[in-house]
């Protein structure tokens, strides 16, 4: 009971939404401490103070994300988008390589492989992904949780199938990191995530986890920050690349990381296991309520995202009522995170029943 009270009091101290916000799958809310950190970062630059502390925040974010993902910080590279990370992986594949993907997955996980033009990109239903790995498959790329409807990939089965056939795996945790424990992240070759959804950070930061041997990636986007000693790598070619995944870093968005550091700090204080339990309880409450209204969501057990076919057209009406959800291909998508309550779920159900 004490743990529950501590969880709730900490969340109340950080969040005071003015609407019933059930749309974390699009954007997470910023904690109060993150807003304060962003304000302080802006003042630092406005007042001409040294920017060194902002670079320290970047490394703090790397270390915090590494703890969430269960990997050494030396395996974590920093960038600005999942699409850029996917592009780096796509560029590493030989012409004609087969990339196996899930049908309807998020574009950032897919499109860089398609625009290469000389890769064999094969899409199958999410449920058949593991069984579809075959000899000659070079890479399997998939979101851990599907953006459109919340279905979770069977990452254990995928990892085992990929190993059996000598394929690498690339998993996007953008819709999972922050509420779903990333127990298996260390066992995949490449993983990625943005910062602005379930990690509760600002836009402008994204993470890429690579193998210890870098998985054949070439640091095509390397600038001065990719040097072993960045401040000694500002002019001319970088002759000494970082010995860690930092060789794949892009120049960091300093403000984004200044805010993100405090968001990651909050998630560590709460514990992802506690956030997971909280979020799933709300999602399951919504699923049960939908059944009472005669609606059947897309089957996605164990997901904090609930997608309801045929109700997407009600999104504008819900927004007018102060309830924020998404319309995804005609489906109503509600996503539940730590700042949501049972009252939020019941309010959504009440408006839908009306």
- In this prediction, residues 233-261 reach a mean pLDDT of 96
Q: In what order do the strands lie in the sheet with 168-172?
A: 76-79, 206-209, 190-194, 168-172, 137-143, 98-102, 120-124
Containing 225, the helix (H) or strand (E) segment is none
Angle between the 272-293 and 254-270 helix axes, to the nearest 10 degrees?
80
What pLDDT score does 2 carry?
Answer: 43
Tell me, what's the pLDDT at 185? 80
Residue 1: pLDDT above 60? Answer: no
Distances (CA, A) of 270 to 44, 59, 81, 176, 337: 29, 21, 26, 16, 12
Which of 3.40.640.10, 3.40.50.80, 3.20.20.80, 3.30.390.50 is the CATH number of 43-269? Answer: 3.40.640.10
Report domain extents, the chain.
2-30+270-353, 43-269
pLDDT in tens, 60-98: 999 999 999 999 999 999 999 999 999 999 999 999 999
SS (H, E, C) 126-150: HHHCHHHCCCCEEEEEEECECCCCC
User: 132 pLDDT exceeds 90?
Assistant: yes
Q: Name beta bridge partners: 305.
A: 335
Using one digit for the tens of pLDDT, what is the confidence trace for 149-190? 999 999 999 999 999 999 999 999 999 999 999 987 889 999
Question: Which of 3.40.1410.10, 3.40.630.10, 3.90.1150.10, 1.10.3720.10 would CATH assign to domain 2-30+270-353?
Answer: 3.90.1150.10
- Which helix (H) or strand (E) element contains residue 202? none
pLDDT tens-digit readout, 200-244: 999 999 999 999 999 999 999 999 999 999 999 999 999 999 999
- Whole-angstrom distance, CA of residue 162 vs CA of residue 133: 6
DSSP string spanning 82-112? HHHHHHHHHHTSPTT-EEEEETT--HHHHHH
Taking the C-alpha atoms of residue 246 and residue 250, their distance in angstroms, rounded to an integer, is 9
Instruction: Tell me if domain 2-30+270-353 and domain 43-269 are identical in fold.
Output: no
The proportion of the chain whose per-residue pLDDT surpasses 70, expressed as a percent, equals 99
Confidence at residue 348, expressed as pLDDT on a 0 to 100 scale = 98
- CA quadruple 336, 339, 344, 348: dihedral positive or negative? negative
The label of the residue with tokens 């699923």 reads 287
Average pLDDT over residues 343-347: 98
Average pLDDT over residues 258-275: 97
| Phi, psi torsion values for 35, nearest 5 degrees | -60, -40
pLDDT digits (tens, 9 = 90+) for 301-330: 999 999 999 999 999 999 999 999 999 989
In terms of Cβ atoms closer than 10 Å to its own Cβ (0-12, 13-18, 19+), residue 121 is middle
304: left (phi over 0), alpha (psi -120 to 50) or beta: alpha
């Amino acid at each position: 009971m004490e743990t529950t009270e501590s969880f709730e009091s900490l969340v109340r101290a950080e969040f005071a939404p003015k609407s019933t916000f059930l749309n974390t799958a699009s954007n997470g809310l910023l904690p109060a401490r993150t807003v304060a950190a962003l304000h302080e970062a802006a003042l630092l630059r406005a007042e001409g103070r040294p920017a060194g502390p902002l670079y320290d925040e970047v490394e703090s974010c790397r270390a915090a994300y590494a703890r969430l993902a269960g990997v050494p910080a030396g395996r974590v590279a920093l960038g600005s988008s999942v699409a850029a990370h996917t592009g780096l992986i796509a560029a590493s594949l030989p012409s004609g390589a087969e990339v196996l993907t899930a049908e309807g997955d998020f574009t950032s996980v897919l499109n860089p492989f398609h625009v290469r033009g000389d890769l064999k990109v094969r899409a199958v239903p999410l449920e058949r992904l593991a069984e579809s790995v075959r000899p000659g498959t070079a890479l399997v790329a998939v979101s851990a949780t599907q953006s459109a409807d919340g279905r979770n990939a069977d990452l254990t089965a995928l990892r085992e199938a990929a190993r059996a056939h000598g394929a690498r795996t690339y998993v996007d945790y953008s819709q999972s990191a922050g509420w779903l424990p990333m127990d298996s992240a260390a066992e995949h070759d490449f993983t990625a995530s943005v910062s602005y959804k379930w990690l509760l950070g600002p836009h402008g930061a994204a993470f890429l986890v690579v193998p210890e041997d870098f998985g054949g990636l070439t640091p095509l986007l390397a600038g001065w920050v990719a040097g072993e000693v960045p401040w000694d790598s500002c002019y001319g070619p970088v002759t000494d690349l970082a010995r860690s995944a930092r060789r794949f870093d892009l120049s960091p968005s300093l403000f984004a990381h200044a805010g993100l550091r405090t968001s990651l700090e909050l998630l560590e204080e709460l514990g992802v296991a506690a956030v997971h339990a909280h979020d799933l309880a709300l999602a399951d409450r919504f699923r049960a309520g939908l059944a009472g209204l005669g609606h059947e969501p897309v089957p996605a057990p164990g997901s904090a995202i609930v997608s309801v076919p045929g109700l997407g057209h009600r999104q504008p009406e819900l927004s007018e009522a102060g309830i924020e959800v998404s319309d995804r291909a005609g489906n109503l998508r509600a996503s539940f995170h730590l700042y949501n309550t049972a009252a939020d779920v019941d309010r959504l159900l009440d408006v839908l029943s009306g």
